[in-house]
Structure 1
Amino acid sequence: MALVADSLVGVVAAVIDLWYADVVDRIIADATSVTDAEIDTADLVYAFSGVVEAVAYLAAIVAFLVWLFRVRANAEILAPHGHRRSRPWLILGWIVPIVSLWFPKQIVDDIWDASARSWSSRKGLLHAWWVAWLVGAWVSNVAARLLFNAEEADALATAARFDVVSIALMLVAAVFAILVVLRITGEQEARRMETPPVLHPGASRWA
């Protein structure tokens, strides 16, 4: 699962962040204590980890959106009039300013309600996922700005350590996201196994 892979990459990136910050601290304390080769290696590994982290995150986004479209199609069969946002918002809702703060949550809420049997009112998991995602995304944005604007060695060390905080928060969001994916997918599968769905106009089959 892409979310799991992205989480594992995040853990490795956090370890590299701490190692890189330690190297920078040593440079600040005594520049002669760190060789040029060690500095070059630290810069290369740190930069490469950032690229890998970005690629893994992009792959997780794509996988999540593919899943979202699939379960939304199934949810429309179960509740054709129970969705507040049209399908284009499954993507636009994440990138349009302001509305990105709540449109994606509304979409998943509606999918949750359409897919649910007995647990539709228990949305603590959904709320926890969304709050963790909003906080983690904001902190990640701050961490990226700190790194981009860092010019001095101490600023680089601070940015690297702050990135660990952002990774930790995004890991929490990823865990909740995985639980949401498993919950909705499992419920839809259970509904599919119980009775064949009644097709509505525009709905072809279970995805």
Structure 2
Amino acid sequence: MTKTARRAPWILARSAQAATAAAAVADVFRAAAVRDHHLHHTDASLQRSGFMSMVFLYVMTPAIVLFLVWLARSRHNARELSPLAPVPSRAWTIGAWFVPVVNLFVPRRLVLDIGRASSASWEQKRDTALVNLWWAAWITHAVVLTVGGRAAPGSMPLLVVAEALMVAAAVLLGLVIERITALQGAALGATVPVAPLARV
């Protein structure tokens, strides 16, 4: 391993965590503004809805970019730590998020593979459960948002559920980022590669 590779991506991790939190907050305000416009069709509500949607887009885009850059860097470190582990390629680590249907299942597996390859200290039950909870919150948020928007547009209970799931997914993702980065920070100084763990 080169000396430059022996560093956990803490700056990227903190940036991705902050951007993800900001995006979750922006989405709450966006959803409220969109619901208000659905219930009260006025020029003011239209402008407010459009403005909040634009703010969300401007906040969410860098959050996605920062997370993917962090993930790519973490994948590189995991490959350095565990050359024999089933770590995905860099192209697939990024590309899988943009392939329809595939992006409902594969990204979870990629994050798990990177986490397992990052350190022998990966706890199979606890850490896998953390990734699974994050992914379940994110996917359920998308489902509730899509179904609710068609079946009951403007429903306050569905809005509350969807945004609670969005916030939960953001918090859990922050914990996933923290865990993998911390594991890599502790393991990158080791001279013995991490033994690959069984996949589930």
Please tell me the TM-score bracket, short chain as reference: 0.7 to 0.9
SS in 1 for 2:124: coil
Letter in 1 for 2:58: V
Q: How does 1:132-143 map to 2 (within 5 A)?
A: 132-142=137-147
Aligned residue number for residue 65 of structure 2: 62
Aligned residue number for residue 108 of structure 1: 111
Aligned positions, number: 174
What do the CA deviations read for 1:1-22 (whole angstroms, capped 9, x no partner)? 211111221233244345445x
Task: Give the number of the structure whose alpha-carbon radius of gyration is greater.
Answer: 1
Q: Which of residues 179, 182, 189 is equivalent to 2:185?
A: 189
Q: Which of residues 139, 162, 170 is equivalent to 1:174?
A: 170
Tell me how large the CA RMSD over aligned residues is.
2.7
Aligned residue number for residue 10 of structure 2: none
On the 8 A contact 2:81/2:119 being kept in 1, the answer is no
On the 8 A contact 1:14/1:164 being kept in 2, the answer is no
Distance (whole Å) between structure 2 residues aligned to residue 124 and residue 161 of structure 1: 27
Answer yes or no: is 1:9 the counterpart of 2:5: no
Give the deviation of 1:89 after TM superposition.
Answer: 1.1
SS in 2 for 1:181: helix
Give the deviation of 1:188 after TM superposition.
Answer: 0.8
Q: What are the ranges of 5 or more consecutive residues in structure 2 without an aligned counterpart?
A: 1-17, 194-200
Is the alpha carbon distance of 1:156 and 1:131 closer, same or farther for their aligned partners in structure 2, counting shifts above 3 Å? Answer: closer
Q: How does 1:87-98 map to 2 (within 5 A)?
A: 87-98=90-101
Distance (whole Å) between structure 2 residues aligned to residue 105 and residue 117 of structure 1: 20
Letter in 1 for 2:81: L
Please, what TM-score do these two structures have when normalized by structure 1? 0.72
Aligned residue number for residue 75 of structure 2: 72
What do the CA deviations read for 1:36-83 (whole angstroms, capped 9, x no partner)? xxx221110011111211222222111110110010000000112212
Structure 1 stretches of 4+ moved >6 Å:
none
SS in 2 for 1:97: coil
Distance (whole Å) between structure 2 residues aligned to residue 78 and residue 67 of structure 1: 16
Distance (whole Å) between structure 2 residues aligned to residue 9 and residue 18 of structure 1: 14
Over the matched positions of the two proteins, sequence identity in percent amounts to 36
Q: What are the ranges of 5 or more consecutive residues in structure 1 without an aligned counterpart?
A: 28-38, 148-154, 199-207
Aligned residue number for residue 6 of structure 2: none
Give the deviation of 1:179 after TM superposition.
Answer: 0.5
Aligned residue number for residue 52 of structure 1: 55
